Structure 1
């Protein structure tokens, strides 16, 4: 880090970069907007380059800003690690843990987990957000430093740069309306389903990626007629005859209107918790991961 650059200026810069807006950044930092603008201008003067392109609609990083962003995050993380080390000696954790999660997953009682964490570490600020673009978006946010921890679904090998702990793995099954001609079968192949309209998650979601890879490996193509972000609601569309689905077994309860069949393909939905391997987890993040491990062991 440059010796004359203030850590506070880097924090303000990163917050503006993440929010893409000076007003929202000021609200998040709980300071006046003029203070954020002044800090960013001071940082630009110190570095001798503009960091943002500003207009009335949005704020975009310049090439210099994009180059600075990962270094600024690393510096902030290092400073936080130093504070964490002192806090641990003094007997209390502080800091912020930014968590991303899928919309609907029953394998982890996330409210209960975070409630236990808050009770044990009340000075840690927990920030939770649902995945706007599925697991692919969560993975990208981890790698970009916008999240510290993410609960996500990955298909195949984990992306480079992520440390992943698998929490659950479920077989993917076929779900059809009970009156569907294929419903009388005992099991199905992907070829049996290739000509059917599908109800599936949008691209970037772990379940969609796994199914797309399965069809591609079999040399088959399919048509996704409806895209549904919440996997728990897929079965409702299938029940109404709008398509068939390949989804994790946990997400579809037995009911008379649906037929659930095994599929002759090695398709599995994997649920995991991930962090960025290039960034040293803070003490608060490590404590959360330890609590997740304890809940998994006790499950």
Structure 2
């Protein structure tokens, strides 16, 4: 595009005001600034739009044709600005959210109906992954991350914390016996994570301090898989409260070694790329999560 918005606005203001002086007053610019803008516009279009004399300014035939289209262009810009203002008041558009499968299932999905009711014009796209993803590569707006954050290129919004507990099903404990001490765990089937290895250091007091490194008999990449194994009575597991609250409430999973368990709470954060101004659909989602999870 050769012409600029400033030049188009100057042209219309001169026509509507009847003179360059009136246009300058309307736009809050100098007379020379308006005159130069008109000169640049006519030079770019290689035509004369206005015949200017000391007494009056009138449109040429080419100017009349160009005026009609210019008004349409400026009206479209005004409409686009009003549309964006409306989106800020009523957020809309596609929102891509990434989280680990267990957190998505147990913490985010239950909140979706209320969020959709509050923001019906936002289209949610929910993506799950057990590893920390590259937000830009996956075109993700918001990712939920559990544990300490290390990526300094991201903004982070703290949402809540979630306590770690050692759990087992009543059926497993009935069949295998309940461990009376941390050392007794060596005689049990332990369910652990494939990675990261830090998740296989359970918050138990013992010879190693306030962390007990376990050697899992069965490993999985997803906490949800470990939860299902524990529910089936396969072994003892250490999981975060956000995915086991309902199981503990109904007695399907019960605490193991509660008196030896250290109160360790994992931080839960929403992360997004740094930008100068957060778009409305992301801001309202972050506010919603913080309100309902905090």
Q: TM-score, with normalisation over the residues of structure 1?
A: 0.51
Query: In the alignment, which of 179, 186, 200 is matched to residue 211 of structure 1?
Result: 200
Query: In the alignment, which of 234, 249, 270 is matched to residue 274 of structure 1?
Result: 270
Cα drift, residue 279 of structure 1: 3.7
Cα drift, residue 126 of structure 1: 1.7
Q: Alignment partner of 1:97: what SS?
A: strand
Aligned-partner Cα distance in 2 for 1:87–1:103 = 34
- Alignment partner of 1:158 is 2:155: no
Count of matched residue pairs = 203
Cα drift, residue 146 of structure 1: 3.2
Q: Alignment partner of 2:262: what SS?
A: coil
Cα drift, residue 283 of structure 1: 1.7
Query: In the alignment, which of 285, 288, 291 is matched to residue 288 of structure 1?
Result: 285
Cα drift, residue 240 of structure 1: 6.0
Aligned-partner Cα distance in 2 for 1:230–1:174 = 16
**Rg comparison, structure with higher value:** 2
Q: TM-score, with normalisation over the residues of structure 2?
A: 0.52
Q: How does 1:8-27 map to 2 (within 5 A)?
A: none
- Alignment partner of 1:222 is 2:214: yes
Q: CA RMSD in A?
A: 4.2
143-152 vs 209-218, greater mean Cα deviation: 209-218
Aligned-partner Cα distance in 2 for 1:149–1:160 = 14
Aligned twin of 2:126: 128
Q: Alignment partner of 1:140: what SS?
A: coil
Q: Alignment partner of 2:91: what SS?
A: coil
- Alignment partner of 1:231 is 2:231: no
Aligned-partner Cα distance in 2 for 1:256–1:165 = 30
Aligned twin of 2:15: none
285-294 vs 264-273, greater mean Cα deviation: 264-273
Query: In the alignment, which of 178, 183, 195 is matched to residue 173 of structure 2?
Result: 178
C-alpha distance after superposition, 1:232-278 (max 9, x if no partner): 55355346664432223562436489663316353635262411353
- Any stretches of 5+ residues in structure 1 without a counterpart? 4-82
Q: Alignment partner of 1:119: what SS?
A: helix
Aligned twin of 1:199: 191
